[in-house]
Amino acid sequence: MENETAPMIIATTIAQVRTQVDAWKKEGLTVGLVPTMGYLHEGHASLVDRAVSQCDRVVVSVFVNPTQFAPGEDLESYPRDFDRDCALLRQHGCSLVFHPEVSEMYADDAATYVEILSEMPRQLCGKTRPIHFRGVCTVVTKLFNIVTPDAAFFGQKDAQQLAVIRRMVRDLSFGIEIVGCPIVREADGLAKSSRNTYLSPEERRSALVLSRAVALGQRLVAQGERSAARVTAAMSQLISAEPLARIDYVSAVDGESMLPVEQLAPGVLVAMAVYIGKTRLIDNFMVEESAP
Ligand code: PAF
């Protein structure tokens, strides 16, 4: 159903969101959810576009979720610009933006978490960010309970997050379609990220080493290389030659379980996290079905 003239609603309370979503559902409209932490870029816009193309109404949450940051991480300095976010969301056809205070989402004595108790959230980013996916699962569960969407949209750049959310939705029988959307890149290849804003001009140039490593890995796979160790070693060597880069990990894992693999076959995720100066960036590619 068309929604071209309705102004975008800005909701700060759970009750406001519930009232509006109930009204839409009574009209028989479908609802899509795009969870974000704000400071939106074209990557987020592509999620909203996809949601708008698939659902009658689209809710975007803008909430820097404290439970997914460990002490010493960038919770306080995480970039924020809500007015700019709203302008972008209006342009892309968002129906309602949910922008709660931390106190609206978490009671002072909140003590309930959603956590996957397998190896999956402990691999890759989970090695250096042990509480991260517990925080993501908890806040996404809360957003699912508040918005009760038909579908929710996440970027493939955060490939482990996407896999974790798919597993959580399966294990907890959420009945919500999870839609993964392709990585959006700058013209020179750098994957779009709100954290790119932390980079100095020199670091910004160095950060290109991530997408160059992705391109190298994809090229080796296209040439028929199937050894995970050889491909990740070649990618690591390229990254290590960049003076401002420090590798956190470059790994090949099963795209669902996140467990390490030895052979590169369709469905394998080749993922990396690399510090450029103090900024930790991630990038990845999936081995395609068409790989020989
Ligand atoms: O990908 C993000 O921005 C966050 O991890 C998410 C999914 C919005 C949860 O806070």
Instruction: Look at the alpha carbons of 37, 158, 209, 41 in this order and tell me if their dihedral is positive or negative.
Output: negative
Which atom, in ligand 1's list, is nearest to the CA of 143?
9
Mutate to test the pocket of ligand 1, among 85, 139, 143 (most ligand atoms within 8 A of CB): 139
Residue 4 pLDDT = 57
State the closest ligand 1 atom to the C-alpha of 68, by its place in the atom list counted from 1.
10
Residue 195 Cα, ligand 1 centroid: separation in angstroms? Answer: 13
Burial of 104 (0-12, 13-18, 19+ CB in 10 A): middle
What pLDDT, on a 0 to 100 scale, did the predictor assign at position 289?
A: 77
Nearest CA to ligand 1 atom 8: 36
Residue owning the nearest CA to atom 2 of ligand 1: 36
**Tens of pLDDT along 133-186?**
999 999 999 999 999 999 999 999 999 999 999 999 999 999 999 999 999 999
What is the atom index within ligand 1 of the atom nearest the CA of 140?
9
Instruction: Give the pLDDT score at 114.
Output: 98
**Do 184 and 192 contact (CB within 8 A), yes or no?**
yes
pTM exceeds 0.85: yes
Q: How far apart are the CA of 135 and the centre of ligand 1, in A? A: 9
Catalytic residues: 44
Q: Which residues line ligand 1 (CB under 6 A)?
A: 35-37, 65, 68, 136, 139-140, 158, 161
User: Strand pairing of 57-62 and 279-286?
Assistant: unpaired
Q: Are β-strands 151-155 and 31-36 bridged in parallel, bridged antiparallel, or unpaired?
A: parallel
pLDDT of residue 3: 57
Query: Looking at ligand 1, which residue's alpha carbon is closest to its atom 7?
Result: 35
Pairing mode, if any, of strands 177-181 and 245-254? unpaired
User: Would you call 262 exposed, middle or buried from its count of C-beta atoms within 10 A (0-12, 13-18, 19+)?
Assistant: exposed
What local confidence, expressed as pLDDT, does residue 6 receive? Answer: 84
Q: ∠ CA 75-76-82 to the nearest 5 degrees?
A: 95
Distance 48 CA to ligand 1 centre (A): 14
In which residue ranges of the chain is pLDDT below 70?
Answer: 1-5, 290-292
Report which ligand 1 atom has the smallest distance to the Cα of 37. 3
- Residue nearest atom 9 of ligand 1, based on CA coordinates: 136
